[in-house]
Structure 1
Amino acid sequence: MKIGGQAIIEGVLMMGKNVAIAVRNNNGEIVVEEIGKKTPSSLKLFKVPFLRGLISLFYSLYYGIYALDRSAEISSGQKMKKSETFWSIFLAVVLAVGLFLVLPVFLTSLLTFLRGNEFLFSLVEGLIRLGLFLLYVYIISLLKDVKRFFQYHGAEHMVIHAYESNEPLIDEKIRKYSTIHPRCGTNFVMIFLIFSIIFFSLLGWILHLNVFWKVISRVAFIPVIVGFSYEFLRISARNSKAMRFLAAPGLLLQKLTTAIPDDSQIEVAIAALKKAVGEENKIDHAKEHEGPEFFG
């Protein structure tokens, strides 16, 4: 069984036979909860190439947002208000659209020598978008709370590596594994950004759009790029050296988005994984599941 997951506040979300979270509360105890039974791979449509990327992204966002809210409640001991959740999501979407969609187009439009050359305009715009994203990740990685979040991200990857290698889930066995994982959502984001540069550069040869419609097109074609990016992620996660080479930018980016966890964080990740595979006292290593199902 292939396991997916992601870091949450003072904890880890894991997806296997079901979806589970483990979070350390303000008393130092680990709280483990099952938050869902339906996973992307349980749907027939998940077998459809390109469409399964959108399905996986939907479930990643759906469970991810809920798990972040729930982990905030458990770790702080305070109930989250629905209005706080709504405004947090709203501001995150506005920031993402403004910073990574609108701003790159606007900045590129200021370069007058690019006017009339749609291919070069889209290429430069894509590189600016990529640069802004890398700068954003680097800046937040310097924050203390984010560093701790990235440690849980590293713990998630190390525990999944150990599980998928049939290792006993004990600290000394898990410690030998890397915090880098080929199915990580960080890889997906990097692949998405690179594919978007190629896609919109080629689109620039066909369509000549003003700044407004350029922004609209960047949003409209997101599902297409998600589909292609996910299929590439599935292929690159296999052992092909050529594909691993092409996926190298995403693997390198994980050097920023993961960190070496402490023993208590690994303990939390183990608890989440055991709950996700449906048996807290016994781990089933059957590998009948195909491909990545969750961005972590």
Structure 2
Amino acid sequence: MKHIGGQAVIEGVMMKSDSKVAVSVRKKGKIITERMRYKPISKKFKILTIPIVRGFVNLIEMMVLGMKALTWSANQQADKKEEQISKKELGLTFFIATVATVLIFIVAPYYIAKLFIKQTNFLFNLVDGVFRIIIFFLYLIIIGRMADMKEIFRYHGAEHKSVNCYEAGVPLTPKNAKKYPKEHIRCGTSLLVIVIVVSILLFSLIKDPRWYVNIPIRILLIPLIAGVGYEAVKIAYRFKNNILTRIIIAPGIWTQKLTTKEPSLKQLEVAIKALNAVK
């Protein structure tokens, strides 16, 4: 059985297997599917398949594919060609999103923690991590109140339900998928929770109090943190029935309560269409 994952897009779902990517959206009542070209860079460079390295590479590929899928889905909903997003606008959006992520989740918590603790020690990094978690949850709560995001979160739930149904070996129909959980162990939300925990541990190793040294090192550690988080999620999925694993992944599953909502049968139909295209 292929490992399949994906993400919600505007009025639809993107699904990805080892060698295929497809995006399905509902446009004016009909489901349309776009198959995207995809060849993992790890196929060319075997060194990129080693643990931790493969995690960061995979996440970068998912980010790029995700942005392309979001752009395509947004363009399907645009009434006029002038309203469609260009490649330049896509690149600019990706750059702004990356910079904003670094500022919000690395720089901001660092300076907030500095208001309370002057020394760069484990306690400082623990407080820094707590503020990172608070910012993360506030972000999810705020965007979760937006009407457009509620719809995307429903498609996120549809993605998980259809993948859970597929992995259970049950025929993929909207009614069958409806019975399965809207949370999934391999979800990016769970990965982010693990990444925050790993970052607290790794950032505690940085002893230099100078911001112009400390913050760049934190940024340089992102690939390692992402890679470790990715491997942790893979291990958790492999031993998903283990009681200890269930305890460890519980915070990530709980967090998905904020990023997923119960989908309709029509939304499940869209998710299944995308999944079938990459099987």
Distance 1:69 1:139, change over 3 A: same
Match of 2:277 in 1: 275
1:182 alignment partner, SS class: coil
The residue identity in structure 2 corresponding to 1:68 is L
Post-superposition CA distance 1:78-133 (Å, at most 9, x none):
4322332233223222321221111111111122xx22352211111111111101
Distance 1:70 1:167, change over 3 A: same
Post-superposition CA distance 1:242-289 (Å, at most 9, x none):
122111111110000000011111111011011111xxxxxxxxxxxx
Query: Could you tell me how far apart the structure 2 residues matched to 1:170 and 1:138 are?
Result: 31
> Unpaired segments of 5 or more residues in structure 1?
278-296
1:93 corresponds to 2:98: yes
Q: Comparing 227-236 with 115-124, which one deviates more in the overlay?
A: 115-124
- Indicate if the aligned counterparts of 2:22 and 2:35 stay in contact, CA closer than 8 A: yes
1:70 corresponds to 2:75: no
Bigger RCO of structures 1 and 2 (CA < 8 A, at least 6 apart): 1
Match of 1:84 in 2: 89
* Corresponding residue pairs, total: 271
- Indicate if the aligned counterparts of 1:20 and 1:276 stay in contact, CA closer than 8 A: yes
Match of 1:237 in 2: 237
Q: 1:142 aligns with which of 121, 145, 168?
A: 145
1:106 corresponds to 2:107: no
- The 5 Å alignment of 1:256-275 reads 256-275=258-277
Match of 1:15 in 2: 16
Match of 1:33 in 2: 34
Match of 1:181 in 2: 184
- The 5 Å alignment of 1:148-167 reads 148-167=151-170
Identity of aligned residues (%): 38
Match of 1:215 in 2: 215
Post-superposition CA distance 1:217-263 (Å, at most 9, x none):
21011111111111111111132221221111111100000000111
- Taking structure 2 as the reference length, what is the TM-score of the superposition? 0.92
The residue identity in structure 1 corresponding to 2:37 is G
Q: Report the CA distance between 1:42 and its aligned residue.
A: 5.2
Distance 1:143 1:115, change over 3 A: same
